Structure formats: C-alpha cells, structure tokens
Chains A and B, each alone.
Chain A
Amino acid sequence: AQSVTQLDSHVSVSEGTPVLLRCNYSSSYSPSLFWYVQHPNKGLQLLLKYTSAATLVKGINGFEAEFKKSETSFHLTKPSAHMSDAAEYFCVVSDFSGNTPLVFGKGTRLSVIA
C-alpha cells in the first residue's frame, strides 16, 4: 500500500522568504513522487516529479524537491516566495511503472503575505 502524509495543512510565509512544504511517503514499491499545485478554480498542475533518476528534482516556477529514501521524505522548497505561489499543494505517490493509482496527500495551503 502507498500513502503520503503532508505534515502541514497550512503554511504562511512572507513574500521573498523561503518556502518549505513537507511530505513523507510510504510505498511498497520503488516510488514515483510528484508535487502538484492547484490554484482556485483551476486544474491541478504538475510542479515536478521524481522517477528514480536524480534525487534533487527541479520543477517549474523555481520549485525543487529532494528525494530522501532514508527519511522517506520528498519536501518541496523554493528560495523566495512570490505572491502568485499562493495555492494548494499536493504531494503524490505512485509506483514507478505507473500501474498503481496516484495517491494524493490531503494538501498544504500556502499563503504568501506581502
């Protein structure tokens, strides 16, 4: 069975400060891991994905995440928050082959304060 735990339901940062959204996963298989972002009334957009290549994954809009097998973590970071980053972020796990469904975390709402 696979699962993800997003450790914070809400994170608030000031514009220009670093962002850290935490995610721990559990998987019986070699996992594929993803971060998706959902802006209000818009579809889910893929930020980045890990599929067993480099453990440090760079995504769109300056986001990156590091796969740490020993810690079963896949935290999302960004050096400097933008107002436009305010959204809901989902950590997602699947198996490497894509044959198991995507399993979503409950989401972390990121607020960015001017």
Chain B
Amino acid sequence: EAGVVQSPRYKIIEKKQPVAFWCNPISGHNTLYWYLQNLGQGPELLIRYENEEAVDDSQLPKDRFSAERLKGVDSTLKIQPAELGDSAVYLCASSLGGVEQFFGPGTRLTVL
C-alpha cells in the first residue's frame, strides 16, 4: 500500500515569491493534516481536514497561508508571499478514524 505522498521534496525560493505544496493521502483516509516543523522542533498542526471540510485551521496564518482539499482526497498548501521565517519542513499526514496518523516525507522549504 502506498504511503502519504508529498511533492516537491525540496523547494528553494526567494522571499516574496509564492510556493505550493501538494499532498496525496493514503487511499481511503478521510482525515488529512498539514504540519509545520521548524528546525529542532516537533511538528505543529496548521490545518486539519475531514473530507473536504477544514475542521481546524486555528493555527494557520491566514494572511499568507491557504489550503484546499477540493474533492476530499489530495490537498494543496500555499504560501503567498513567502517570508524568510517560513523556511521549514511542511509535513502532510492522513488518518482513518482520527487516532493514528501516517506521515509523508515532507517538503523542505528554503526561503532566501
């Protein structure tokens, strides 16, 4: 069974540029999560989807971050415009029923 797929794996952009990350969860998993992991820290939740509905986006900085999961399957996380402090690893995870989450390899973003 394929795991959670994320692309790209690495992205380098200049500040003020837009960037997008894509995630395809495990087939059949209705819950999808985006996490932010800063260097030397544990992941922190940005947004959680139940099917296509964002049920928890309280930690998403909505002035520059947006996310969508239009058909309740794959999802895109966007930053526009990116800032230097956005350099981090962006993790996607999925679950079926909520408790155990399966993580993708992440996208490492470097903002110059």
Binding site for B on A (CB under 8 A): 32, 34, 36, 41-46, 49, 51, 90, 92, 94, 97-99, 101-102, 104-107
Given contacts A97-B98, A104-B42, 20 further A-B contacts (CB under 8 A): A36-B103, A41-B105, A42-B105, A43-B91, A43-B105, A44-B91, A44-B93, A46-B102, A49-B99, A49-B100, A90-B43, A94-B99, A98-B95, A101-B33, A101-B56, A102-B45, A104-B43, A105-B42, A106-B41, A106-B42
Q: Say whether B53 faces chain A, with CB atoms less than 8 Å apart.
A: no
Q: Give Cα A26–Cα B91 distance, bound, in whole angstroms.
A: 25
Is A46 a contact of B43 with CB atoms below 8 Å? Answer: no
22 contacts between A and B (CB under 8 A): A32-B99, A42-B105, A43-B4, A43-B105, A43-B106, A44-B93, A45-B103, A46-B102, A49-B99, A49-B100, A94-B99, A98-B99, A101-B33, A101-B45, A101-B56, A102-B45, A104-B42, A104-B43, A106-B40, A106-B41, A106-B42, A107-B40
Give chain A nearest CB distance to B35 CB in angstroms.
8
Which B residues, 25 to 64, have Cβ-Cβ distances below 8 Å to chain A? Answer: 33, 40-45, 48, 56
